Every structure is written in structure tokens, then in C-alpha cells.
């Protein structure tokens, strides 16, 4: 699947704001099952949609001379899930614009309800020709110009372990962004590895001239790693099977590119955990050099007891 999260730009005012849409379909390969039979778009990918619309806004504003690259974000917040058949209304805003960077914000709405927000994101400008083929970007640019929630689904559905034939005909969504767990201590920390290869779908678009791992994919890899730690913690403490949802990211910083051939080592440590929420600090390194750091908050959903 192509790594494109804006289907159409509805409005664009140079230097100020833009509005776009992204449809979510069962054909999307990035869907995941939070619980069997409930495929959703990973929450972090809604931030990718905002970031891509911000990118188009900056590109138009700067007359296709630069490509913005995320550097840091104060906060991203999530308050709902997006399912096949939903249409995302994406909003992007430039708060301050300088010669070398911009401070931006944005949100995603579904059926009039805000489901994700990006606050105070800083993007640095890279000359367009270093990352993209300008004519290809221009061609793409010119082509652009309700459902039940998860808690209700769980309440209405029997998710007992081992029920014969349950969801046999359901498609499985198995996006997995952790290749290996190196170390894990329940209730405390986890260390894992994700390898980036040239076979990753997103390298076609991110970026054609310099393939790098999107920041969104790094954050989503941390979500997958956190779920392994929190699941093991819940299993040891209460014998409970749980799933998690990303609730908020704070103080996200991206310090260097991750390229094909790199292995990212992800360290995530729990700061606090309760029955319903978990707080963690995360850092990502490549060859012992810091790539990304973030503070993360998760919602914990209990499925059933073993």
C-alpha cells in the first residue's frame, strides 16, 4: 500500500491553513485488529494524515521549493477510532512561518467529532530536490486540489478465549512493527528491535530520492512494543488479557533519519500503570545514537480473564 494519507485537498490558503479528506477502506493494508472483528486505522496514522496535509500546505506556500520534515511535537492527543467506511476530515494550520521552519497544528474529525489533534509541531525545511522529484510532486499536488465505537463493540461481543469458530471468516489485520524483543521485565521496561528494509511499502513515497522511515512508523512501532509490555504486565499481575490504545504523545523529538539497513532499538519504560491507563517514556536509537524520544500515554482495555 502506498504511504499516502490525503485523498483530496478541499481548501488551501497559502501560509495559513488547509482542509483535506482521507477515506478509510477495507482495502487499506495498514488496518489492525484491536480485538478480533474490529479493524481500525492505527491512531498514530491520523497524525500522519495531519502531517501530510501540513506538508502540502507548506509546499504550496513555498512554491514547491522545500519539503517539510518533522522535528518535534509538543503533544498529540487521541479520542476515538477510525474504521473502514469512515471519512477523515483533516485540518492543518501554520501558526508561525520562518525561512527555515514552521510551527504548525492540526486535527482529524469523523462525523463532526475530533478524534485526534496535533499541537505545536515544528517542521524543518529541506530543499525539495534532495527528497523528491519536483515534477512528480507537482503532478500529485494537482490531483489532490459514523460507526460504533470500540467500547460498545466489546460490550456487545463475546470475546471468550477458545470459542470454536469465532471470527473464522474474518480478515486478520496483522501489522507488526516489532521484529524482536531483546529484554522485558513485566511492570517495568521492554527493549525491542525493528529493522528497516527496502521492501517496506512506505519507501515508495517517503521519500523517492532519500528513503527514510516516517516518524509515524517509529511511533507506531513503540505502540506495538508497549502493548507487549503492558500485556505481559497484566497477565502476571492479574491474569488478564488486555489491548491498548494510544491516548496521547508528549514532547516528541525526531533527531535523525532512519534509513534502509538500519535497525532501530526501542527502549520503553513504564512510569505509571493502573487498571485503565499507563504512562511510559520511550527512546529510539540507531547504533547507540538517539533518533526519537517521547512520553506516551495509553488506554488499557480489558478483554477477559484467563
Rounded to an integer, the average pLDDT of 74-102 is 96
Other CB atoms within 10 A of residue 136 CB: 10
Rounded to an integer, the average pLDDT of 91-120 is 97
Rounded to an integer, the average pLDDT of 277-302 is 97
Which residues, listed in sequence order, are joined to residue 193 by a DSSP beta bridge?
180, 265
Q: What is the pLDDT of residue 203?
A: 86
Q: Which residue has the higher pLDDT, 237 or 225?
A: 225
CA 51 to each of CA 136, 203, 216: distance values in angstroms, whole numbers, following the listed order? 19, 17, 9
Starting at the edge strand that comes first in sequence, how are the strands of the sheet with 113-127 ordered?
8-13, 17-23, 87-97, 101-110, 113-127, 66-78, 240-254, 289-305, 277-286, 263-273, 189-195, 180-185
Which residues, listed in sequence order, are joined to residue 108 by a DSSP beta bridge?
90, 116
pLDDT tens sequence across 46-85: 999 999 999 999 999 999 999 999 999 999 999 999 999 8
pLDDT band (50, 70, 90) for residue 202: confident
Q: Which H or E run includes 246?
A: strand 240-254
All domains in the chain, ordered by first residue: 8-150 (3.10.129.10), 176-305 (3.10.129.10)
- Angle formed at CA 56 by CA 9 and CA 197, multiple of 5 degrees: 115
Q: Which residue has the higher pLDDT, 250 or 153?
A: 250
Q: Which residue in this structure is represented by grid cell 507488526? A: 176
Catalytic residues: 206
Highest-confidence segment of 21-25, 99-103, 192-196, 238-242: 99-103
Q: What is the pLDDT of residue 155?
A: 67
Amino acid at each position: 500500500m502506498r504511504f499516502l494519507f490525503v485523498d483530496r485537498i478541499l481548501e488551501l490558503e497559502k501560509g495559513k491553513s488547509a482542509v483535506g479528506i482521507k477515506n478509510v477502506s477495507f482495502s487499506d493494508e495498514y488496518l489492525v485488529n484491536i480485538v478480533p472483528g474490529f479493524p481500525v486505522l492505527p491512531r498514530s496514522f491520523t497524525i500522519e494524515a495531519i502531517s501530510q496535509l501540513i506538508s502540502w500546505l507548506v509546499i504550496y506556500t513555498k512554491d514547491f521549493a522545500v519539503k517539510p520534515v518533522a522535528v518535534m511535537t509538543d503533544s498529540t492527543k487521541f479520542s476515538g477510532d477510525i474504521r473502514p467506511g469512515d471519512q477523515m476530515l483533516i485540518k492543518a494550520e501554520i501558526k508561525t512561518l520562518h525561512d527555515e521552519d514552521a510551527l504548525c497544528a492540526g486535527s482529524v474529525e469523523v462525523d463532526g467529532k475530533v478524534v485526534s489533534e496535533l499541537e505545536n509541531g515544528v517542521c524543518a525545511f529541506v530543499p525539495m530536490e534532495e527528497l523528491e522529484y519536483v515534477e512528480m510532486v507537482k503532478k500529485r499536488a494537482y490531483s489532490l486540489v459514523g460507526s460504533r465505537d470500540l467500547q460498545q463493540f466489546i460490550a456487545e461481543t463475546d470475546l471468550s478465549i477458545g470459542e470454536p469458530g469465532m471470527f473464522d471468516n474474518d480478515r486478520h489485520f496483522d501489522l507488526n512493527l516489532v521484529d524482536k524483543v531483546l529484554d522485558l521485565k513485566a511492570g517495568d521496561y521492554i527493549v525491542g528491535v525493528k529493522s528497516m528494509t527496502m521492501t517496506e511499502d512506505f519507501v515508495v513515497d517517503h521519500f523517492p530520492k532519500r528513503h527514510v522511515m516516517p516518524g509515524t512508523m517509529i511511533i507506531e512501532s513503540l505502540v506495538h512494543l508497549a502493548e507487549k509490555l503492558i500485556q505481559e504486565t497484566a497477565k502476571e499481575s492479574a491474569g488478564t488479557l488486555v489491548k491498548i490504545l494510544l491516548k496521547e504523545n508528549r514532547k516528541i523529538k525526531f533527531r535523525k533519519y532512519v534509513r534502509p539497513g538500519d535497525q532501530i532499538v526501542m527502549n520503553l519504560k513504564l512510569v505509571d500503570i493502573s487498571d485503565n491507563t499507563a504512562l511510559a517514556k520511550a527512546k529510539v536509537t540507531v547504533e547507540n545514537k538517539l533518533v526519537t524520544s517521547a512520553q506516551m500515554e495509553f488506554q488499557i482495555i480489558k478483554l477477559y480473564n484467563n
